[in-house]
Structure 1
Amino acid sequence: MVDTSRPTVRRLDARSLRGLAHPLRMQLLDTLRSSGPATASQLAVRLGESSGATSYHLRQLAVHGFIEDDAERGTGRERWWKATHQGLRFDDALLSDENPDVRGAAELYLYEVATAQTRDLTTWLGNRQDWSEEWNRCWDMSSATLRLSPKRARELAEKMHELIDAYRTPLEDEDESDTAQVRIHTHAFPFSKE
């Protein structure tokens, strides 16, 4: 159940970006958001890392407010972590920040997001035979090349996000046993002036 008392999407600022812009931290946060609460040891096994590394980076994520203790789980020996937000919003102004460390963190963050999205897609392609025929008929990997102005490209991106947001809430009569987490990636960028 989503906690509606907290914002579901967090806007990254210079300070929080520097706390997140590390490949393992980004993987840890994404795993907690998609798979739910876990311990450092569980995450270490899942991501093929040492529990010492996952523990350190989880604490750093907590310092920057991306995750917190899950008080409903664990014992004195086990510390469970959960994500505090469902998503992140990147501010393009971070790419032109006066501080070179912020610009570097912004570039790293974007690169890691692109890498993770490619990993998600290739994982699906490699495992799609494990899914039902119905799921194999409804997935999509498409591209389109349009001639747009920056204004129309922004409008298109905003409309795509509005459409995705309309699907965040399950239908009242939807059978939960027939659902799965579905990853949606959107990309819109200038390709060629020709």
Structure 2
Amino acid sequence: MASKENRRITDVGTLKALAHPLRADLYRLLCVERVATASQLAEHVDEAVSLVSYHLRKLAEHGLIEEAEPQTGDARERWWQPASDGVSIRDEDFRGEPAKAAAHLAATRLFHDQRADRYRRYLDERPTWNPEWNAASMDNESLMRLTPAELTSFKQELLSLLRKYDEQGQAAEAAGETEGREHVALYMYGFPFRV
């Protein structure tokens, strides 16, 4: 049974397993779909089912995903689900050793590039979304002067707000309120910089 908490990744092996471009895509898809087979996921990523199955097994070896209850009567199908509500990867867990820090940096860059690609895809597809979705979508840049403690507090408040809306959306969907509901990606970055 999947844990309702984020899994904190602290070891390089698990980080590298997730930081493979196809595996990161498959993990995100599984988080969105909640349960799926390799065949279903292969359609989304336009890859061979055998390749997708291989990468799903690698994610499972590191405890990132797990087998799910079968959703159909077909015993040949193997169903997968995320092993937790998500993952967290913190810089503090990969400092100190150059190899760990390099793995963390490479993973962070990959995840950022994939997020940027997803946003660019939305921009290209924006004309196909209705005016309500385009008005609701956001792209914001705020430049502030904060202390580390203030940024940490700000981050905690944003994450709390995010959880509130996620839980509200999941409850509505579970109650059958699916009309007008779409997947929404929210990417936030908060970091210091000097001019």
TM-score by length of 2: 0.85
2:167 equivalent in structure 1 = 169
Give 1:12 deviation, angstroms.
0.9
Change in CA separation of 1:22 and 1:97 when aligned onto 2, cut-off 3 Å: farther
**Mapped pair 1:13 → 2:10:** yes
**Mapped pair 1:137 → 2:135:** yes
User: Which structure 2 residue ranges, 5 or more long, are not aligned?
Assistant: none
1:92 equivalent in structure 2 = 91
User: Which structure 1 residue ranges, 5 or more long, are not aligned?
Assistant: none
Instruction: Name the SS for the 1:10 alignment partner.
Output: strand
Change in CA separation of 1:183 and 1:173 when aligned onto 2, cut-off 3 Å: closer
Matches within 5 A, 1:1-194: 6-14=3-11, 15-73=13-71, 75-98=74-97, 100=99, 102-170=100-168, 175-192=177-194, 194=195
Give 1:95 deviation, angstroms.
3.0
Counterpart amino acid of 2:180?
D
Mapped contact 1:94–1:106 kept (Cα < 8 A) = no
Give 1:103 deviation, angstroms.
2.7
Give 1:63 deviation, angstroms.
0.9
TM-score by length of 1: 0.85
Q: Deviations over 1:34-53 (max 9, x none)?
A: 12322223322321223232
Q: Matched residues in 2 for 1:57 and 1:173: separation?
A: 33
Q: Matched residues in 2 for 1:129 and 1:35: separation?
A: 25
Change in CA separation of 1:189 and 1:99 when aligned onto 2, cut-off 3 Å: closer
Q: Deviations over 1:122-154 (max 9, x none)?
A: 121111222222111111001011122222222
Percentage of identical aligned residues: 29
Q: Matched residues in 2 for 1:154 and 1:71: separation?
A: 39
Counterpart amino acid of 1:81?
W
Give 1:173 deviation, angstroms.
7.3
Deviates more, 1:30-39 or 1:170-179: 170-179
Aligned residues: 189
Q: Matched residues in 2 for 1:48 and 1:163: separation?
A: 35
